[in-house]
Chain A
Amino acid sequence: MSEQVDATIKPIIGGIAWSTMTKGARNPSRLVKFFRRHPEIAWGGLLLMIVTLLSIFAPLLGTVDPRALSTGNRLKAPSPEHWFGTDMLGRDLYSRVLYGGRISLSIGVSAAALSAFFGTAFGLLSAFGALLDGVIMRIMDGIMSIPAILLAIALMAVAGASIENVVFAVTIVEAPRVARLIRGVVLSLRDQPYVEAAIAAGSSMPKIILRHLLPGIVGPLIVQATFVWATAMILEAALSFIGAGTPPSIPSWGNIMSDGKALWQVKPFLIFIPAAFLSVTLLAVNLLGDGLRDLLDPRMSKRG
């Protein structure tokens, strides 16, 4: 299982980290200047990188098998031997939290990527298809009228518990929000004189979309995808927490908290340690999203 997750998460996260590092190496002073101007991106990125590296290199960081039971070691408080203590089955919480990051982060990244893809597709289709527009937007309105977590719960109930289904559920919930945003951006861009000029000059539709509209979409899309990433991780945790998410045998942050909830009053660390990791990661992603919004999407900037 963990190899499978490895294969999905490493290229994505690794790619981001690698490109950031090489850029830094090529021109450190410019990077420092950039981070000083956008402290949210710097802090968000740094925190996210720490959490990501911790999960990727979990096997090298003194962890044991996150699923190894040890009945003699149940509910041990944090100690030098078990940094975060052990749960009611004697499993090492430190190992579980680090490996859990792999599951939670990759669910977030995959759901964000899929929502961005399908959202953009439907947004473009809606903005250009006169007849389709009404139909697509009514469907999106309908889906958005269903409280996100309840729709996800209903989906999980019929689809069954698996990592793929959690990603699928989050995508169905979030893609309409992306579609609506993209439709709005495209509609406003389409009325810009330079696009009208391109249409008048006889450019083909695919060329107009690729050369004139996509560059305008990318900024808002990246910002939105970052927030979908955060929402996806919250949804995964909430679904797993109430027993409708990732299968209980897989240590995701939501499942670790779900395991701890029966005993949280006696052993609060069972909940609060994974909760802290989840919240710090969400904070990082939200900071990154806010920073990127200031950078890429000046119209939406909260410092308006």
Chain B
Amino acid sequence: MLIYALRRILMAIPVMGVVALVIFGLLYITPGDPAMVIAGDQATPDEIARIRVSLGLDQPAYIRFGTWLWQVMQGDLGTSIFSNQPVALMIDQRLQPTLSLLILAVLLSIGIGVPFGVAAAWKRGKAIDHALAIFTTAGFSIPAFVAGYALAFIFASTLHWLPVQGFTPISEGFWPFLRSLILPAVTLSLVYAAVIARVTRAAMLDVLSQDYIRTAHAKGVRPYMILFRHALKNAAVPVVTIIGIGVATLFGATVVTENVFAIPGLGRLTVDAITHRDYPIIQGVVLLSSATYVVVNLTVDILYTLVDPRISY
């Protein structure tokens, strides 16, 4: 078990290495001078030279990669071209809204997706199963920002139940904080909950068709006991996997959703960085989100061995 955990952690290192290489290598894939692209059309030669030095493009690529990797491992994500502040500090300042939003969205998605999927598998072919099919297809067909505007239009602009835009920090009270996050979190949950529900349904159908479930029915075990004690426990592995994998999608959707709801988080930081052509910030956010994704999935994989005694390595 310990050896498996260690091996799994060692396996994550090359993946993170590739991530770093890709993010770093992006600067070199374009045919032209990346410093000129990043500086934009109206840049003076001085500005271009400054960007070239700050991105290290004046040095050979391998030296630059080595220095950059060394700095990153020490928590130094470089300096913003636009504001001259350390990127790590700027990210740190924007972390609270994004993290709150992500956690709320994950909880909401699991809360909607798992019961919905279980119910659809239990009542296969009935109304609730069809409702799930409609919900998942809609979830995949409505991009996050479209759903965000639709929700804001209905619940904020028209009904005035919730604030249209903005974020209230938790230090100003829990209820205002929660109110400002409900719509964005629901927006993020639509796709994520759809994926979780679909996988839950498939995993439950798989388990429910097995012999020991039929035996439990024959013994006269109460249906909800079969559903939750016998079936759901055994369907958990694929469900937990998809929850881990979905974190990447969720991260991406946050960028757009924060923009719709004017939430000052990492997504806003990224979009502002695009406007200011501030590549080090984009690099930092991409690196951080990928690292989070790798760590979450690593944790999920290791947790299996604790939860499921059948898995042994």
B85 CB to nearest A CB, Å: 18
CB pair B164 A149 closer than 8 Å: no
Q: Assess whether B249 is in contact with A147, with CB atoms less than 8 Å apart.
A: yes
Q: Which residue of A lies closest to B146 (CB)?
A: A275
Within 8 A of B (CB), among A285-299: 286-287, 290
* A-B contact list, 21 entries, CB within 8 Å: A141-B15, A142-B19, A146-B23, A147-B252, A148-B252, A150-B290, A154-B26, A154-B282, A158-B29, A158-B37, A158-B279, A238-B252, A241-B259, A242-B270, A243-B271, A268-B149, A271-B149, A280-B141, A282-B142, A286-B140, A302-B202
Chain B residues lying within 8 Å of A271, measured Cβ to Cβ, are 146, 149
Q: In the complex the two chains form, is B143's CB within 8 Å of A238's CB?
A: yes
* Proximity bits, A128-155, B CB within 8 Å = 1, else 0: 0000000000110111111111110111
Total A-B Cβ pairs within 8 A: 160
**A146-B19 contact, Cβ under 8 Å, with A151-B286, A157-B38, A159-B29:** yes
Q: Is A272 an interface residue (CB 8 A)?
A: yes
Q: How far is the CA of A290 from the CA of B16 in the complex (A)?
A: 34
CA distance A238 to B37 in the complex (A): 21
Tell me how far the C-beta of A303 lies from the nearest C-beta in chain B, rounded to whole angstroms.
9
User: What residue of chain B has the Cβ atom nearest to residue A264's Cβ?
Assistant: B149
**A213–B289 alpha-carbon span in the complex (Å):** 37
- Smallest CB gap from A151: residue in B: B286
Q: Is the CB of B137 within 8 A of A147?
A: no
Cβ-defined contact, B256 with A147, below 8 A: no
B14 beta carbon closer than 8 Å to chain A:
yes
Which secondary structure dominates where chain B touches chain A? Answer: helix
B254 to A, closest residue via Cβ:
A147
Which of A151, A160, A261, A278 contacts B143, CB < 8 Å?
A278
**Which residues on the A side are within 8 Å of B16 (C-beta)?**
142, 145
Are A142 and B21 in contact (CB-based, < 8 A)?
yes
| B157: Cβ under 8 A from any A Cβ | yes
- In the complex formed, the residue of A with least CB distance to B124 is A303
Q: Within the complex, what minimum Cβ distance (angstroms) separates A221 from chain B?
A: 19
Query: Closest 4 CB pairs between A and B?
Result: A142-B18, A149-B252, A283-B141, A147-B252
Set A145, A160, A257, A264: member contacting B294, Cβ < 8 A: A145
Chain A nearest Cβ from B22, distance in angstroms: 6
A230 to B143, CA, bound (A): 10
A279-B141 in contact given A138-B15, A146-B289, A151-B286 (Cβ < 8 Å): yes
Smallest Cβ-Cβ distance to B165: which chain A residue: A265
A158 and B18 CA atoms in complex are apart in Å by 19
- In the assembled complex, the Cα of A278 lies from the Cα of B146 at a distance in Å of 9
Closest B residue, CB atoms, query A274:
B146
A242–B137 CA distance with the chains assembled, in angstroms: 25
Contacts of B37 in A (CB 8 A): 158-160
Q: A159-B29, A241-B256 are in contact. Are A279 and B15 (CB under 8 A)?
A: no
In the complex, given contacts A141-B18, A144-B248, A154-B23, what are 7 additional A-B residue pairs having Cβ atoms less than 8 angstroms apart?
A138-B15, A142-B22, A146-B22, A268-B157, A278-B143, A282-B142, A283-B138
**Cβ distance B53 to chain A, nearest Cβ, rounded Å:** 17
Residue on B nearest A275 in the bound complex, by CB? B146
Q: Does B231 have its Cβ within 8 Å of any Cβ on chain A? A: no
User: How many angstroms from the CA of A241 to the CA of B259 in the assembled complex?
Assistant: 9
A242–B262 CA distance with the chains assembled, in angstroms: 12
**Minimum CB–CB distance for A108 against chain B, Å:** 13
A237 within 8 A of B: yes
Which chain B residue has the least Cβ–Cβ distance from A260? B149
Check if A244 is an interface residue, CB within 8 A of chain B.
yes
In the bound complex, CA of A79 to CA of B293 (Å): 48
**A178 sits at the interface (CB 8 A):** no
A294 to chain B, nearest CB (A): 12
**B34 lies within 8 A of chain A by Cβ:** yes
Which one of B252, B285, B294 has the highest number of Cβ atoms from chain A below 10 Å of its Cβ? B252
CB–CB B205/A138 < 8 A:
no
Indicate whether A242 sits within 8 Å of B286 (C-beta atoms), given known contacts A146-B23, A283-B141: no
Chain B residues with CB under 8 A of A302: 198, 202
* Residue numbers in B under 8 Å from A244 (CB-CB): 271, 274
Which residues of B sit under 8 angstroms from A157, Cβ to Cβ? 38, 273-274, 277, 279, 282
Interface contact B146-A145, CB-CB below 8 Å = no
CA distance A244 to B279 in the complex (A): 12
**Known contacts A138-B15, A158-B34, A268-B153: A153-B274 contact under CB 8 Å:** yes
Contact residues in B for A142 (Cβ distance below 8 Å): 14-19, 21-22
Q: Which residues from A are CB-within-8-Å of B198?
A: 302
* Interface presence of A225 (CB below 8 A): no
